[in-house]
Amino acid sequence: MAPKVVVLDYGSGNLRSAERALVAAGAEVMVTADSTLAAECDGLVVPGVGAFGACMAGLRGVGGPQLVAARVAAGRPVFGICVGMQVLFASGVEHGNDGAGIAIWPGVVEPLVAPVLPHMGWNTVAAPAESRLFAGVGGERFYFVHSFAVQHWTGRAALLTWAEHGSRFLAAVEDGPVVATQFHPEKSGAAGARLLTNWVNTLTEA
């Protein structure tokens, strides 16, 4: 039986492309802001594009921070994508303004230090050998579109995947039921499809 996945609709993110990619990965997918469905599903996907502050405002409008925190506390799977990853950290700094995130993890989303911004295009990542998310996806390139990222991990022990664009930054985190990618797996071709399939397969084991 296909695991049920909710793509949280809070006014941000590549909702339909994420939906199609997750369906192809073997999930039964609903795009919704319904808090009950989002709380009860097997896996919750938090997408996000644009500014950190705008995404947090949208999330607060649908009770997203409380929903995500409750799922994490209960050990229920959450997957953040792009700014959906960034908002899982304590805060984000954009244009001199410091805004609060959901604070699942400590850390600050800061501007990348690079000669060309935004970081837009394909990039390799360095995933740990024991990663389940990147199983069978070694050496592939993933699609990034961002100018901000977390560049220092100060949280508990977790599986960390790094990438470089000017400076080194977190490309993905695997921390128990919570995983996140700074890149867009739904736009990353066969490698992204394999990564999403790996995640969907973990939902049947939960």
Question: pLDDT tens for residues 21-56?
Answer: 999 999 999 999 999 999 999 999 999 998 999 999
154 alpha carbon, distance to own chain's centre: 18
Integer angstrom CA distances of residue 45 from 71, 113, 115: 12, 29, 32
| Domains: count for the chain | 1
Could you give the residue numbers annotated as active site?
82, 184, 186
Domain of 123 in residue numbering reads as 4-203
Cβ-count burial 145-173 (b if 16+ within 10 Å, e if not): ebebbbbebeeeeebbbbbebeeebbbbb
Average pLDDT rounded to a whole number, residues 181-192? 97
Question: pLDDT tens for residues 115-131?
Answer: 999 999 999 999 999 99
The H-assigned helical ranges of the chain are 15-24, 35-40, 52-61, 64-73, 83-86, 189-203
What per-residue confidence (pLDDT) applies to 206? 61
Q: What CATH number has the domain bearing residue 51?
A: 3.40.50.880
The model carries a pTM of 0.96
Average pLDDT rounded to a whole number, residues 144-157? 96
Cα separation, 109 vs 170, in Å, equals 10
